Chain A
Amino acid sequence: MIDHIPAGMALKVLKILGIDEAVSSTVTVAMHVPSKAMSWKDIVKVEDRELSPREVDKIALIAPKASVNVIRNYNVAEKHVVRLPDRAVGILRCGNPNCITNLREPVETDFFVKPGEPPRAACRYCDRVVEDIPAAIV
């Protein structure tokens, strides 16, 4: 279960997890839920699904305050808050059409990430700052 997603970002989280009609487990989405800490939040719950480190990094970029609860046998078995990575490798697309990473070269994109509201990501190759991080996620 991923809690404390900024309101409106739940569908983006589903996209990061690659969840579509073909998914075989139960998926529950709660949108615009009252929250003490963030006034409104979204929640996503996916059964039988663990997150890869890259997925956690992607979620951290769009929901820096999200918490990931692993539920086993109806109990919260693990609970951790995502951590904003200081480098985002292969998870964002550079918005500069003239950036070398947008050509057919054998490299992954690479961004320096700085915390903030919202976080700031700058391309290691061309220095361009990402304007809309959720839209830039691969």
Chain B
Amino acid sequence: MASWKGRDILSIRDLSRGDIELVLKAARRMAPIAEGEKSSKSLEGKILATLFFEPSTRTRLSFESAMIRLGGGVLGFSNVEGTSVQKGETLADTVRMVEGYADVIVLRHPHEGAARLAAEFTERPVINAGDGAGQHPTQTLQDLYTIWDERGKIEGLNIALVGDLKYGRTVHSIATALAGFGASLTLVSPPGLEMPWEIVEEVKATGTPVSTTHRLEDVVPTADVLYVTRIQKERFPDPQEYQKVAGSYRVDLPLLREAKKDMIVLHPLPRVTEIDPAVDRTPHAKYFRQAFNAVPVRMALLEMVLGVG
């Protein structure tokens, strides 16, 4: 296992199952601190730089909350307006400059591969907080943590990924990560928005059972986890077609009548119409918990890459 101190977190593929399990366990220890029940000074004197070349308020705030909860400081920018980036500075130069001001760098960038490039220009650990349509490993870790924390395990669970499985990077990353954990996958998408075959092949190559369907109602009785994603209107040239599809992929109370008692519903949020607000009051709804889990997972990563804990 690679040493954690100074390690870059660029892609979920760079992490082995053992690595991920360490993060999950560390995140669970962080939960009481993330909730404000306990306090910690473990990162006192350390500084996190959040370099957001495009806005993503939720991601940035969860990283900043994580750092502050552990007693550390935060600096950075939330968009490029008014920075030297706007004057044409390269990412390589920005990173070399920031290196002098911070101990760990979190980067959000509109271009794919930006985090890997940034990591090559600094000795400081770089955490990828989303690069274009590329990787967003801390989000995947947050999703894995939610499943593991709520269900006590991942192996052997029947996990249904629902919605736009073609374009959603979130769902591609979670599919390949779950495959490494011995879950079985059911892929539920409207026709034309199926999971790309390369990813299905990659998942199957790990020995993970995969089944595919267009009908959400068929998978609800056997699923342990429903991971629901947004179906974007822009994917449909015909608005009526969109209405029809959106309607048949909506999670509501009648649909959940068939579900196992301990089945959980996840969603990376924001949701539009995929989950009826009435579902929020059921014990199945775990998507707000999933959103909160961003903080303990990022606390765990910050401690680990800074060599603390």
Contact = CB atoms under 8 A, between A and B. Distances in A.
Contact of B91 (A96, A98, A100, A127): A100
Interface in A87-132: 96, 98-101, 103-107, 123-128
B117 A100 contact: yes
A100 B90 contact: no
Contact of B132 (A98, A123, A124): A98
Given A105-B91, A126-B134, A127-B134, A100 B112 contact: yes
Tier of interface size on chain A: 10 to 19
A116 to B, nearest CB: 15
Interface residues of B, number: 17
A104 B90 contact: yes
Nearest to A125: B113
Nearest to B116: A125
B135 to A, nearest CB: 8
Given A105-B91, A105-B92, A98 B112 contact: yes
A120 to B, nearest CB: 12
A99 B112 contact: yes
Nearest to B91: A105
Interface string B115-129: 011001000000000
A103 B92 contact: no
B111 A99 contact: yes
A98 B117 contact: no
A124 B133 CA distance: 15
B120 A107 contact: yes
Nearest to B109: A100
Contact of A126 (B88, B91, B92, B113): B113
B283 interface: no
B208 to A, nearest CB: 20
Given A124-B116, A125-B117, A103 B134 contact: no
Given A105-B117, A126-B134, A96 B90 contact: no
Contacts of B111: 98-100, 103
Nearest to B112: A126
Contacts of B91: 100, 103, 105
Interface string B54-91: 00000000000000000000000000000000001011
Given A104-B90, A105-B90, A106-B92, A98 B120 contact: no
A107 B131 CA distance: 17
A128 B110 CA distance: 16
A98 B120 CA distance: 19
B159 interface: no
Interface in A17-66: none
Contacts of A105: 90-92, 117
B285 interface: no
A96 B120 contact: no
A95 to B, nearest CB: 12
Contacts of A127: 112, 134
B114 interface: yes
Interface of B: 88, 90-92, 109-114, 116-117, 120, 131-134
Report, nearest first, the 9 A-B pairs whose CB atoms are least far apart.
A125-B113, A126-B112, A100-B113, A126-B113, A100-B111, A100-B114, A100-B117, A98-B132, A105-B90
13 contacts: A96-B112, A98-B111, A98-B112, A99-B111, A100-B112, A105-B91, A105-B117, A124-B113, A125-B112, A125-B113, A125-B117, A126-B112, A126-B113
